Amino acid sequence: MRNLVFLLVCIIVGNISCKKNSIEHNFEKHSQDTIESQYETLYFDADNIKDKAAIKAKQNAERSSFILSIYLSSLNKTAEIPILNNSILYNNAESDYYLSDPIIKNKIITIRVDYADLVTKPNISGERKNLIEKIKFRFDTKNKKIQVIGYDLSYTKAKKNYSKSFNFITGKFYSTSSFNSKKEEASGWASELQNIYIENLNRDFFNKLLLHGNEIE
């Protein structure tokens, strides 16, 4: 009888030990994956040193004005990229804009730009609301420059939802509109939308973007 009780105790203790080891192994694996994932997202340029990107506000503007600051460890210098307020471009009136913290993932920096809605005027429904931009950057290892690789725009207008997406690597763009479960799509390609770098990110460039993907409106 004692031998039987001792055998049962050994089996129970053995099962508990196996479960504990399994839990610890899974926890260590999960923690390691998380740490490695976080570590990978900090790389941007050509080396294996953690990079820093931050949004800085300009103090000498009447309205909010921002710069994306990126420290390039491979070049030992900081690049400052003005993030333009495009509210006038899209609504013919200036409104405040707000930037998210930059996200670095798979050596690509993404920032989100949100615009404040304009005050609605009577009998006017043409303004774009819920206006959001997303801009993506990467480091071109061949010429050691920062490249703009993508631009997304979404907004609502006259109760319709619109979105545009530009790929500056391929030169392709896509646009969609949706209302009451009905969806329209358009796409195209333009050579002027290829090989875009931060020095091209100016008002003239955004004016060119307005010429593409408007079939949905």
User: What are the extents of the domains in the chain?
Assistant: 86-120+127-210
Tokens in use for 17?
């030990």
Q: What is the pLDDT of residue 60?
A: 63
Q: What is the pLDDT of residue 24?
A: 38
Give Cα separations from 16 to 6, 11, 20, 111, 112 (angstroms).
16, 9, 6, 48, 49
Q: What is the pLDDT of residue 29?
A: 36
Cβ proximity of 178 and 157 under 8 Å: no
Percent of the chain exceeding pLDDT 70 equals 75
For residues 147 and 140, what is the distance between their CA atoms, to the nearest angstrom? 6
Q: What is the pLDDT of residue 131?
A: 96
For residues 175 and 189, what is the distance between their CA atoms, to the nearest angstrom? 12
Cβ proximity of 119 and 91 under 8 Å: no
Q: What is the pLDDT of residue 37?
A: 34
Is the predicted pLDDT of residue 83 greater than 60, yes or no?
yes
Q: What is the pLDDT of residue 197?
A: 97
For residues 36 and 46, what is the distance between their CA atoms, to the nearest angstrom? 18
Is the predicted pLDDT of residue 125 greater than 80, yes or no?
no
For residues 187 and 165, what is the distance between their CA atoms, to the nearest angstrom? 9
For residues 115 and 23, what is the distance between their CA atoms, to the nearest angstrom? 47
27 pLDDT band, cuts 50/70/90, is: very low
Q: What is the pLDDT of residue 78?
A: 94
Is the predicted pLDDT of residue 87 greater than 70, yes or no?
yes
Q: Average pLDDT, stretch 54-71?
A: 82
